[in-house]
Amino acid sequence: MREIVFDTETTGIMPGDGHRIVEIGAVEMIGRVVTGRTFHTYVDPCRPMPKDAQNVHGLSSAFLTGQPVFEMIIDDFLAFIGDSPLVAHNAAFDMEFLNWELRRANMPTLPASRAIDTLEMSRKINPGAKHTLDALCIRYGIDLSGRTKHGALVDAELLARVYVELTGGRQIGFDLASGPAEAPVAPAERVVFESRPHGASEAELARHAGFISGLKDPLWLQ
């Protein structure tokens, strides 16, 4: 199944307050595997960039002025996503901004039913834990060294790896393959240690027995 993991950066948190999209990044996945096809663009919001928002993603008004406006990039973005499900972290936020921009451009909006929200998935899988993208990357051992600020494409690439973990890791199901089995691919960030090549020595066993004999009222004898 083809899915698109995407992220947006904006001038603020509420499109109804006049805030706009300034960056879109998207990553194609087929069968929960990143294909290497991506979409990325900056967008001129045609309004000043608030300092608080610039501190988050580092995109200034000076940089964004002269970038394509939303109406110039939307056809390419819609062609890239096609009719595939859209995966996002706090998907309601990104979908609201996309649909606000689509309405401004007098174009049909995207139905909420297309969205898969990794924030909601994480809340169900790890109740009580932190659910930011940074926290999820740390939880699943995903390298964050390249993420100094929020960036739409970088965040979409990280989220694609998080999404794989949230949906069961590399082994998604237990269906029997009809063809030759492929060798499993271990995630690069996981270290597999070789099993110990020998048993405990006589000296080690003696030390262990001495340690056990010194315990007072051990639980297994109660």
Can you read off the two tokens belonging to residue 141? 């051992």
Q: Would you call 212 helix, strand, or coil by DSSP?
A: helix
Q: Would you call 32 helix, strand, or coil by DSSP?
A: coil
Q: Is the Cβ–Cβ distance between 95 and 88 less than 8 Å?
A: yes
Q: Would you call 87 helix, strand, or coil by DSSP?
A: strand
Which helix or strand (DSSP H or E) is residue 26 part of? strand 21-30
49: closest CA among 76, 78, 80, 22? 22
Q: Is the Cβ–Cβ distance between 97 and 17 less than 8 Å?
A: no
Q: What are residue 8's DSSP bridge partners? A: 24
Catalytic residues: 150
Return the DSSP state at 110.
P
| Measured CA distances, 150 to 57, 109, 164, 169, 178 (Å) | 5, 26, 21, 25, 42
